[in-house]
Amino acid sequence: MSFDVIVVGGGPVGLAFARSLAGKGLRLALVERQPLTALAEPASDGREIALTRRSKRILDELGAWRHLEPADIAPLRAARVLNGDSSFALAFDPAATGDDRLGHLVSNHRIRAALFRTVEDQPGLDLMTGVGVASIRHDSSSVAVRLTDGREIEARLLVAADSRFSRIRDQLGIPAAMNPLGRSMMVARMAHDKDHRGIATEWFGHGQTIAMLPLNGRLSSAVLTLSAAEMSRIATLDTPVLGEEITRRFGRLLGSMRLVGGLHIYPLTTSYARHFVARRAALIGDAAVGMHPVTAHGFNLGLVGQETLARLIASAQAKRSDIASPNLLRDYERAHRLATRPLYTATNLLVRLYTEEGRAARLLRHATLRVGARLPLVRRTVTSLLMQN
């Protein structure tokens, strides 16, 4: 079977990319290991996505935003950063811009379901679910993909959107800098006594990082990062005891907390591909850049990257040019590297600074927050990044 583009990976970025190419006169195949039901009705994975205004705009243009229920969308009105036992907080508030929010919080599985609804009947798109990629063979004019069920499909371009542990990236021979952090992240939906007022809090404590992402009502998504060994202990706690543990770890800032959703634990590994393209192939989403969740920009960067690649492909198709030419792929790589490398590097430096436990590191990060608070330009720059269209 012949296609113009084969997309491997039916996560939100892969689905968004397929939708971005709708109506461009291209025949697409989307290959996903999970069954169709897992795409149509994805299970909750506990993750809440902080969407920038730009990401909201992209989802709106793709037709996904209208498939979200109002109850699924929580306003992110402001953010603050705390360090250790200090009462000082570095705040990011959009009030000076005339807006009432930094962005929106939406559950990852709701975004996936909404994006699936945009592509499930998309003309020119073949959904190949419940099947993986066994091998890849490419030359100067096409890419041939053998699926695990024995079928072989070919296309002019192959796009990998299959996670930061991408098998497609490996099969293309693209190395990646993988950085296992030796830490795990727990996400859990918590009810609490006090009103969060729509403010997200990131608290770098001694031996832990804990964030509270404000959901609708008196609910928050707790995001706790600990050593893998300590997280193993947390995972064994009974539900009432876990609520008490999170209440204590968050300093009772929201009062007493109770677990109201499932508990999910993820080992933390960041990644950055040495190249985002190969011959007749490109990487998008986490296959290209796997961000640390501390800045909540992984999914946002993935949406931007797929939009960039889709725009270049659509332009080439309209001109009847090669949609996988070396120049086109280099243009995508250059643009996406400029969009991701500075933030990826800064995030890794931030994580290193705020996870070291020596006295010097604790003093340095407190001083860093103080300096940031005294420099309005810094706060405005970060706020503008979150609110960019």
pLDDT reported for residue 361: 54
Q: Please enumerate in sequence order all residues whose Cβ is within 8 A of that of 352, keeping only pairs 6 or more positions apart, or say none.
A: none
Among candidates 53, 31, 20, which has minimal Cα distance to 332?
20
> Token pair for residue 66?
């209208």
* pLDDT of the residue at 293: 84
pLDDT of residue 139: 87
Q: Which residue's entry shows tokens 């796009």?
A: 159
Return per-residue pLDDT of the chain as tens, 389 residues: 899 999 999 999 999 999 999 999 999 999 999 999 999 999 999 999 999 999 999 999 999 999 999 999 999 999 888 877 766 667 777 766 667 788 999 999 999 999 999 999 999 999 999 999 999 998 889 999 999 999 999 999 999 999 999 999 999 999 999 999 888 999 999 999 999 999 999 888 777 889 999 999 999 999 999 998 999 999 999 999 999 999 999 999 999 999 998 899 999 999 999 999 999 999 999 999 999 887 678 899 999 999 999 999 999 999 999 999 999 999 999 999 999 998 888 877 777 665 665 555 555 555 555 555 544 444 444 444 444 55
pLDDT at 381: 44
Quick one: pLDDT at residue 241?
95
DSSP structural state of residue 2:
B
Q: Return d(Cα 333, Cα 327) in angstroms, integer.
A: 10
Dist CA 173 CA 131 (whole Å): 22
The structural domains of the chain, with segments of one domain joined by +, span 5-73+106-178+270-355
**From 3.90.1640.10, 3.10.450.50, 3.50.50.60, 3.40.50.1110, which CATH number describes the 5-73+106-178+270-355 domain?**
3.50.50.60
Angle, helices 108-119/12-20, rounded to nearest 10 degrees: 30
Q: What integer pLDDT is reported at residue 224 of this predicted model?
A: 94
pLDDT for 377:
41
What's the whole-model pTM score? Answer: 0.91
